[in-house]
Amino acid sequence: MAETLYESLEDFIAHLRGVRCASAHTVKAYETDLIQFIEFARSRRAKSAGAVDTLLLREYVRHYRGGGDGQGARAKSSMARKISALRAFFRFLLERDRVETNPAAALRQPRRDRPLPRFLDEAAVERLLAAPQGDAFAALRDRALLELLYSTGARLAEVVGADVADLDGSCESLRVRGKGKKERLCVLGGPAASAMRRYLEARAARLKAARRAEHALFLNDRRGPGCLRRLTDRSVRRLLKAHLAQAGLDPATSPHTLRHSFATHLLNRGANLRLVQEFLGHQHVTTTQIYTHVDARRLKETYRRAHPRA
């Protein structure tokens, strides 16, 4: 009996987790998108991968792009992700000889508009980093966390997933694991290193008082059960929102905004694009190039300074 689409999906998800080392968010997104497609295919009496052809896939794309499921028309970014999931799924099946051809290879990605990344100017970043006040454990942790996010440009998942052992002895660099579990070294500036050392002292004292050990770098501040465990990304977003309000900054600012600010400020001060690519852990420099367009003022200043007839 031919393998069902759901059985093929189980193997593909296991491949994403075990071989490609995809993040939990990527796995969940691909799984959700492919389940939607499988339900659509089953409604068209296609229960196995071999029964799926390009015409069916195009019908599915038109169906969901136009909101045929009652959820409204889909954004280009949403449809692009669905098509990427289909391509990866059928490419996986083709490589394992479970289908004779890849019916998703002919699908075309929608042309997407790339909005410029949001970032804070340097003065706003200074206000945010100064928001956590006092010597309490939570204040020292928050200051170190915000300093680290801005100083390294690391992704939120990379920071909350870091352990104390990933820091070097002088707190001047941090080893993080990015997309695909690829490791890279992030450099901490002087203020970030100083804030980190103060936090580590408070962290050690809290763990000693609680008579327990914990490998995670950033810990929660709970009391009772679940205390002093790894800080979650949801908790980081919540504490960031509180400090944004305290600093009088846009509440829509996210942890990723600090990553954008990091890259933008480096480039504005003359950093090499290839080096910024390495700092951010981008696989392709084209991903990093978007930051060269965020500050028209800098472009005009460079033109006036460098062009003989400016």
List, by residue number, the catalytic residues: 155, 179, 256, 259, 282, 291
DSSP the chain: -PPBHHHHHHHHHHHHHHTS---HHHHHHHHHHHHHHHHHHHHTT--BGGG--HHHHHHHHHHHHTTTTTT-PPPHHHHHHHHHHHHHHHHHHHHTTSSSS-TTTT--PPPPP-PPPP---HHHHHHHHT-S-SSSHHHHHHHHHHHHHHHH---HHHHHT-BGGGB-TTSSEEEEE-GGG-EEEEEPPHHHHHHHHHHHHHHHHHHHHHT----BSSB----STTTTPBPPHHHHHHHHHHHHHHHT--TT--HHHHHHHHHHHHHHTT--HHHHHHHHT-SSHHHHGGGGGS-HHHHHHHHHHH-TT-
